[in-house]
Structure 1
Amino acid sequence: MISAETLGWIFVAATVATLPALWAVAGLPRYAPGRPNDQGPLRRIADGGHFVLGNGYLRAIAGCALFWNFAFSALLVTMVPLVTDAFLMEPGIFGIAMACFGLAAFAGSGIAARYAGRIRPNLLLLFGPASSVPAVLLLLTVAPGGSPFAIYAAFFGLGFGPAMWLIAQNSVRQIVSPRDMLGRVNAMIQTTIYGARPLGALCGGFLVAATAPRDALAFIAGCFALSFAVAAISRLRTIRSYGDLAAAEAA
């Protein structure tokens, strides 16, 4: 937890922790550059957006990611006033909750990778956003001055299912996107993800200032529900295996 005693070394420790990541990146394979594209960057971005919007799978992935990341960023802004003012707990509780989120992401990614051939993709693509809704609603049950374990469980739920969803949707992206369009498709999805985050943070901050942390939390739960709704009504729910999807795309 960050405190007056830890400020002297916490950022140094965080910097040192990035060294294994740099070492891992340095070991990635190197590929020969592809044929240069004569199109300008704006035209390529427009082509990528047009392709994503025109494909039912990619359109659903983008919509699901948009609402989920908007809601998650709004939640992060809301959590400190929620913990301190509504739950009457120490702000360091939020740091532990984020650690639970990270551990859950590792666990969800590991399970998705290990059992990818045994779990139908549509289950992962629906479970990820669906599990976020009860996880956030769990925060509404926390009593002032009570136990923080519900907070930890909520953030574990927010990390576990969505990490599995992230792996599954990446597989779908690679299958349904032509090789020459994959980079542009990935760029559009990433733009959707990272573009939604500052908007969610601004909205979360405005709601906390204008209403109360618990009211903001109810709005955030609704945004997570929209993320699930996008996936539930889309073609993502029909993907029973990656092999069948690849065969259908090749036909």
Structure 2
Amino acid sequence: MRVRGFFGVWLTAAGGNLGDGLALAVFPLLATRLTDAPALVAGATLARTLPYAAAPLVAGALVDRTNRRLLILGANLARGAAALALCAALLTDLGSLGALYAAAFLIGLGETFADIGTSALVPAVVGRDRLDQANSWLQGTESTLNEFVGPPIGGALILGGTALAAGGIAGAYLLAAAGMLLLRGAYRPARSAPATVRADIADGLRFLWNHRVMRTLALMVTVMAACWSAWMAVLVLYVVAPGPVGLNSVGYGALLSALAVGGVAGSFLTVLVRRGLGLRWVLGGDVVTSVVLLGAPALTADPWIIGCATFVGGLGSGMWNVTVRTLRQRLTPDELLGRVGGASRTLGWGAVPLGAALAGLVAETTGPRLVFALAAAGTALMIVPVFRVLTPSALADHEPAPRPTAAVD
């Protein structure tokens, strides 16, 4: 995509998601080198993901108060510094679970700021008429590096030493910071009057709730995130032996890879499919593909059918992510992009632990098949707002928000 400045944004997304993919594999493996207690090993993932639901509202408010380019630069430098500090601790035999948890938390916190900031920055860089193409590239890059490239490289790096793995994570985040150095100009949103952070957050929540299309999309994301989380929480019990499907760990990995492959393909196909079918059918199509994904294990234990359903679900998910992000950027005024993005992220990530917890309770008493059936049924209900609220006329009524203030050199 040839737009001045977009390469810097893409490089930042590429470096950041490579680092996230590395951390996804390295932190749990590193924890196993420091302890054999399962709960403490899981603590590494908890520390990294805790900011996902706790920090987005504040992060969004700060994104709308500052130069977004510098905020993203600072967030990635902070992530790189946290990984370098962990690397130094490991090299000097000062590595501990406390150091690992602290680095993981800071990296997760930085990710929250960087992701919300990048999403808010993109419209000012590429213009609102090219958001589809830009988001397709960014989402495809995110899925590829976060799910395919990063984890296996992270696993290979840790074989060379824990400090080397931490250093690799740091290098990826410093590459992300370099992307913002290539982008010129000050990307500071216009503000009407000074306000407290609390008031800013309230303004973002108010806009999201009062905007019928945005509110509907946010609630759909929340429900579907809970359903997907429930599916993922008990999937391993169902598909890995001695579960009914009977796969081994390699087969389980291949199943998850089918989901990721579908997501990458969907990301890059979004523009083509949207032009051919229209916006509403892209959104409705993801609801249908998600029902296929979530419901297939409730109906069969055939690994090939479940694998195909998983690919189809990933395909729809990739299109959904690009489409919803683009809609949010087009329908939200520039000065509110961070706060609305933060509020939406809070709802989506907040639903993840709820879905997993409910899935565990249901599976404990009735088995995982009912979890899959309930998740599919809950997602199927989302077809109602697609046809009652997200109509062509409703979407057409919402003209793109005014073009963001151009960068000032």
Normalising by structure 1, report the TM-score: 0.81
CA drift of 1:165 comes to 1.6
- Where relative contact order (Cα < 8 A, 6+ residues apart) is larger, the structure is 1
Q: Which residue of 1 is the match for residue 178 of structure 2?
A: 26
CA drift of 1:62 comes to 0.3
Letter in 2 for 1:100: A
Letter in 1 for 2:391: R
Q: Which residue of 2 is the match for residue 13 of structure 1?
A: 156
Kept after mapping to 1: 8 A contact 2:226/2:351: yes
Pairing of 1:62-211 with structure 2 (within 5 A): 62-84=218-240, 85-114=243-272, 116-143=274-301, 147-211=302-366
2:214 is aligned with 1:61: no
Give the superposed CA RMSD.
3.1
CA drift of 1:157 comes to 1.6
Q: Which has the higher helix share?
A: 2
Q: Which residue of 2 is the match for residue 237 of structure 1?
A: 391
Kept after mapping to 1: 8 A contact 2:229/2:355: yes
Kept after mapping to 1: 8 A contact 2:228/2:294: no
2:187 is aligned with 1:44: no
> What is the DSSP-based 3-state SS (H/G/I as helix, E as strand, rest coil) of the residue aligned with 1:140?
helix
Letter in 2 for 1:124: V
Kept after mapping to 2: 8 A contact 1:52/1:59: yes
CA drift of 1:93 comes to 2.7
CA drift of 1:130 comes to 2.1
Kept after mapping to 2: 8 A contact 1:128/1:162: yes
CA drift of 1:187 comes to 1.0
Kept after mapping to 1: 8 A contact 2:208/2:214: yes
Kept after mapping to 2: 8 A contact 1:120/1:240: no
2:399 is aligned with 1:246: yes
Q: Percent identity between the aligned chains? A: 24
Letter in 2 for 1:98: L
Residues 55 and 24 (structure 1), Cα distance of their counterparts in 2 relative to 1, 3 Å cut: same
CA drift of 1:30 comes to 5.2
Structure 1 unpaired stretches of 5+? none
CA drift of 1:138 comes to 2.0
Q: Distance in 2 between matches of 1:119 and 1:42?
A: 41
Q: Distance in 2 between matches of 1:18 and 1:69?
A: 30
Q: Distance in 1 between matches of 2:342 and 2:224?
A: 18
CA drift of 1:58 comes to 0.2
Q: Distance in 1 between matches of 2:382 and 2:172?
A: 34
CA drift of 1:24 comes to 5.4
Structure 2 unpaired stretches of 5+? 1-24, 26-31, 34-150, 158-164, 403-409
CA drift of 1:245 comes to 4.2
CA drift of 1:117 comes to 3.8
Aligned pair count? 239
Normalising by structure 2, report the TM-score: 0.52
> What is the DSSP-based 3-state SS (H/G/I as helix, E as strand, rest coil) of the residue aligned with 2:195?
coil
Q: Distance in 2 between matches of 1:22 and 1:150?
A: 42
Residues 13 and 71 (structure 1), Cα distance of their counterparts in 2 relative to 1, 3 Å cut: farther
Q: 1:216-248: per-residue Cα shift (whole Å, max 9, x none)? A: 1111112221333333321x2326987x7427x
Deviates more, 1:109-118 or 1:169-178: 109-118
Q: Distance in 2 between matches of 1:111 and 1:163?
A: 9
